Structure 1
Amino acid sequence: MPRYRLLAVLCALPLQACAWKTGDVQPHTGFSGYRQQTLEWLQSHRVFQTDNRDAELAWNAPQEWRPAGTPRAGVLLVHGLGDSPWSFHDIGRTLADQGYLVRTVLLPGHGTRPEDMLEVTLEQWQQVVREQAAQLARDVPKVYLGGFSTGANLVLDYAYEHDDIAGLLLFSPAFRSDSAYVWLTPWIGWARPWLAEPNDGVRPMQTPVRYLNVPTNGFAQFHLSSVVARQRLVEKPYARPVFVALTEHDSVLDTGFVLDSFNARFTHPGSRLVWYGSDPDSTAAHPRVLVREDYLPEQQISQFSHMGLLFSPDNPLYGPNGSQRICWNGQEATDMARCVAGEPVWYSDWGYRAAGKVHARLTFNPYYPWQAQVMLGVMEAQ
């Protein structure tokens, strides 16, 4: 059995069995050295999706936003499964404008082609977070960590081990999947490397900034990261300020579990959870949960999506006038073709359908300015 498949199976066992070392991460000279090494890897391995290679490299490489003066603190942001540093294009700028030094990472297996995730391991992802969080701590007086989806699991794990982390920013945190079968992925990757066949002529493999198809092993490592996150939450409450953004109609997550975990485990009085959807029953007893409606027909939004919380409507790729409309959204092929042709669309999360409406993925957040102010307020709640 190939080594990576054996390791994937072993990682369905208790976490102690997963403490292997990859030995393939090279030392870096600060963040600039890490970014340069990653850029060189991207240049030689990426399957480019457009003629603008320089733009694609910039979108997928680790990024840094510097404030106008001396940084008040630093923020390290970690993307999710199949995504890229572009996930934080808007949040990075927002934080830098408020005096924070902001950096992103590119997790191994990402940014090049989906096939490069066939042998990636959770430990490789954890190692990048460890390296760059430690580097940022050397450059600023205090550090916050932020993560989207799988990235939220990774930064939560690190924060539990490091009491000096000032707080967490968690966007659609993937503490538990909504799928009843994701736990099987560490066991079946050797027999079925892809859950959805690659290059089938129907599902696009990737866009300039993300993968649309991920190998089984990628889902397996995501699952393992969620196991780690849940074990951390059981250990003890997390007492630092935490900001969470979450949508009720998330096609990826068990959102009720995330809401309950916030209320029970993130105990700082300044913590806040932004919930997009109908008012959950538990909010009356938990004023730290802020609710906003996610059905906005005047903007042709049927419901919010897993990924859309991160982006401003002004985002040049993902805003309503952006260049990267995601039409692969779980609808009929005829509706997808109409979306690709540029017809007017509604927006939703993956898999939502409504008679007479063509839905693209919602890739922007109409509440972004308000959400940013809530996030900044949590960071001030020391």
Structure 2
Amino acid sequence: MKTSVFRWIKRLAIVLLLVVASIGGVRIHDAQRKPPLGLWHTYVPAEMHARALDQATWDDYVAHENRLFDEVRKNVSDKLVPGDRVAANRYFTGSPVFPGHLKTDWNRSYTLAPEGTPRGVAVMIHGLTDSPYSLRHIAARYQHDGFFVVSIRLPGHGTVPASLTDVTAKDWEAATRLAVREARRRVPAPAPLHIVGYSNGGALALEYSLEALRDPRLARADRLILISPMIGITQFARFAGLAALPAILPAFEKAAWLDVIPEFNPFKYNSFPVNGARQSWRVTQDVQREIAQANRRGQLASLPPVLTFQSVIDFTVITSAIIDSLYAQLPDKGSELVLFDINHTTQLSPLMRASIRDALRRLTPAPPLHYRFTVLTNASSTSSHVVEESMAPNSTVTTIKPTGLDYPADIYSLSHVALPFPETDPLYGRTPDPNDDVGIQLGAQSIRGETGGLVVGAGMFTRLSWNPFYPYVAVRIDQLAGVTP
């Protein structure tokens, strides 16, 4: 009997080894097909980590950040080989997208002061592979509305993609605490504190607010504004670290990267290391655990009201997780979920997957709810006019209001990356502001040609990068700030 069991264990072990070897072989083969790594993939700046961040002041962090950018220029830009000194490389000082030559380098942390005495303070937390650029328009809106603004560059971002190989979720959480400390130093209570989080930053903003429920040393926010929040992502990210195992061997160092793409975007990484996905998954696990624990302790009633903007279709985050893991747990305290529906009149409708056309119905929770549920959608199946369909908490009645906005005929849905950018955004907008040059106009590109002719996938240009309903978002921000549009 024991011999038989041992034989089966041995066979199972052999099968598992063969499976692991096969996966490893496929991963190595896939990694080796990637382009060669550049200096920006191998030079790792010395970021501040969690323990140091929790002891640092804002001035300490900004001073260290300035040294990081100096070191990147010295160890990357000044050492580029001739083949890397091209216009499409943001690290080439002669490139039009070199951030150091632009009017504002939005990769860096910054503050904005309003005219006169601040009415409140807002903290901006950007997303993964992103930079403070992504929330610049919402930051400017808050400044216009009389708020002081603190926008932090999260560790691992804004410099070189390799920096994301040496960063942890704890570092991002500590940086969020630092930004809120500075916000309250600049504008003390009882002036309102709002925290705005985009994508991964949305999870960090929520995680901070949950942590503040049990730690009296942390300032509590009065409002949370989440944009495409990363409350849930695919399970692949959980095991992404395994994909990087071959990188232990120098010959297979490219296995540490999920994507190796030319860096032509001045304010966002195109290349993506495995560790970035792994740490982002840890953030989502932290925030989901915090929600469950706060719910068990009966503390969610003390969480500030949450306003979330989310596309029904999102390739990056799981939209249903926002509803099931967060909003289903919230008490009746003024929270609201705003969903942007697909365009039901688009001529591309016959080409859309049935699951996409039916997405809103599947996502809509059964009323009554403890929060306001709002959808921006077509007035009818034949109209491009967009209306706001809203259901108040504890109600089963939907009210419909015109928005004065139209769904563009050539857009079938919003995307994860589009929500915080207006049509006039100089980098991502369709009609860039001519007075705000950032070296390249990605959103205005309409590229056609044969398949395989570009150095990047066509999806990078077809994915919507601006929000046709941004004016609605701006109005809602004004309302939260206490300003009547």
Q: 2:258 aligns with which of 192, 196, 200?
A: 196
TM-score when normalising by structure 2: 0.63
Q: 2:323 aligns with which of 252, 259, 262?
A: 259
Take 2:243 and 2:336, find their aligned partners in 1: how far apart are those partners?
38
Asked if 1:38 is matched to 2:65, the reply is yes
Deviation at 1:86, TM superposition (A): 0.1
CA 1:145–1:252 in 2, change beyond 3 Å: closer, same or farther? same
Take 1:311 and 1:169, find their aligned partners in 2: how far apart are those partners?
15
Q: 1:108 aligns with which of 151, 155, 165?
A: 155
Partner letter of residue 431 of structure 2?
N
Q: 1:74 aligns with which of 121, 143, 149?
A: 121
Take 1:57 and 1:43, find their aligned partners in 2: how far apart are those partners?
16
Deviation at 1:367, TM superposition (A): 1.0
Q: Deviations over 1:1-20 (max 9, x none)?
A: xxxxxxxxxxxxxxxxxxxx
Q: Answer whether contact 2:137 2:420 (CA < 8 A) is retained.
A: yes
Where in structure 1 are there 5+ consecutive unaligned residues?
1-20, 341-349, 353-357
CA 1:290–1:227 in 2, change beyond 3 Å: closer, same or farther? same
Deviation at 1:189, TM superposition (A): 3.2
2:365 is paired with a residue whose SS is helix
Deviation at 1:133, TM superposition (A): 1.0
Q: Deviations over 1:122-176 (max 9, x none)?
A: 1211111112211211221342212111111111111112242212111111111
1:319 is paired with a residue whose SS is coil
Q: Answer whether contact 1:154 1:225 (CA < 8 A) is retained.
A: yes
Deviation at 1:22, TM superposition (A): 5.2
Asked if 1:62 is matched to 2:109, the reply is yes
CA 1:83–1:197 in 2, change beyond 3 Å: closer, same or farther? closer
Q: Answer whether contact 1:243 1:375 (CA < 8 A) is retained.
A: no
CA 1:118–1:373 in 2, change beyond 3 Å: closer, same or farther? same
1:372 is paired with a residue whose SS is helix
Asked if 1:364 is matched to 2:414, the reply is no
Which protein has the larger Cα radius of gyration, Structure 1 or Structure 2?
Answer: 2
Aligned length: 340
Take 1:25 and 1:190, find their aligned partners in 2: how far apart are those partners?
29
Q: 2:376 aligns with which of 285, 292, 297?
A: 292
Q: Deviations over 1:78-104 (max 9, x none)?
A: 111100000111000111111111111
Where in structure 2 are there 5+ consecutive unaligned residues?
1-48, 78-89, 214-219, 248-254, 343-359, 379-383, 385-405, 433-439
Asked if 1:161 is matched to 2:211, the reply is yes
Structure 2 counterpart of 1:229 = 287
Q: Answer whether contact 1:326 1:361 (CA < 8 A) is retained.
A: no
Structure 1 counterpart of 2:338 = 274
Cα RMSD of the aligned pairs, angstroms, is 3.3
1:290 is paired with a residue whose SS is strand
Deviation at 1:44, TM superposition (A): 2.5
Deviation at 1:230, TM superposition (A): 0.6
Structure 2 counterpart of 1:324 = 441
2:106 is paired with a residue whose SS is helix
After alignment, is 282-291 or 105-114 more displaced?
Answer: 282-291
After alignment, is 317-326 or 285-294 more displaced?
Answer: 285-294
Partner letter of residue 58 of structure 1?
D
Asked if 1:311 is matched to 2:366, the reply is no
Partner letter of residue 334 of structure 1?
E
1:289 is paired with a residue whose SS is strand
TM-score when normalising by structure 1: 0.78
Take 1:370 and 1:124, find their aligned partners in 2: how far apart are those partners?
33
Partner letter of residue 421 of structure 2?
F
Q: Deviations over 1:355-379 (max 9, x none)?
A: xxx9522111111121122234345
Partner letter of residue 309 of structure 2?
A
1:309 is paired with a residue whose SS is coil
Structure 2 counterpart of 1:243 = 307
Take 1:127 and 1:271, find their aligned partners in 2: how far apart are those partners?
26
Deviation at 1:326, TM superposition (A): 6.1
Take 1:284 and 1:254, find their aligned partners in 2: how far apart are those partners?
21
CA 1:324–1:27 in 2, change beyond 3 Å: closer, same or farther? farther
Q: Percent identity?
A: 24
Q: Deviations over 1:221-266 (max 9, x none)?
A: 0000000011112122353111101001100111011123443223
Asked if 1:98 is matched to 2:162, the reply is no
Q: Deviations over 1:323-374 (max 9, x none)?
A: 331699xx9983575899xxxxxxxxx997xxxxx95221111111211222
Q: Answer whether contact 1:325 1:360 (CA < 8 A) is retained.
A: no
1:252 is paired with a residue whose SS is coil
Q: Answer whether contact 1:242 1:266 (CA < 8 A) is retained.
A: no
Structure 2 counterpart of 1:180 = 235
Take 2:256 and 2:443, find their aligned partners in 1: how far apart are those partners?
21
Take 2:71 and 2:421, find their aligned partners in 1: how far apart are those partners?
29
Partner letter of residue 249 of structure 1?
I
Q: Answer whether contact 2:168 2:279 (CA < 8 A) is retained.
A: yes
CA 1:144–1:299 in 2, change beyond 3 Å: closer, same or farther? same
Take 1:263 and 1:216, find their aligned partners in 2: how far apart are those partners?
30
After alignment, is 108-117 or 187-196 more displaced?
Answer: 187-196
Take 1:217 and 1:314, find their aligned partners in 2: how far apart are those partners?
34
Take 1:320 and 1:80, find their aligned partners in 2: how far apart are those partners?
22
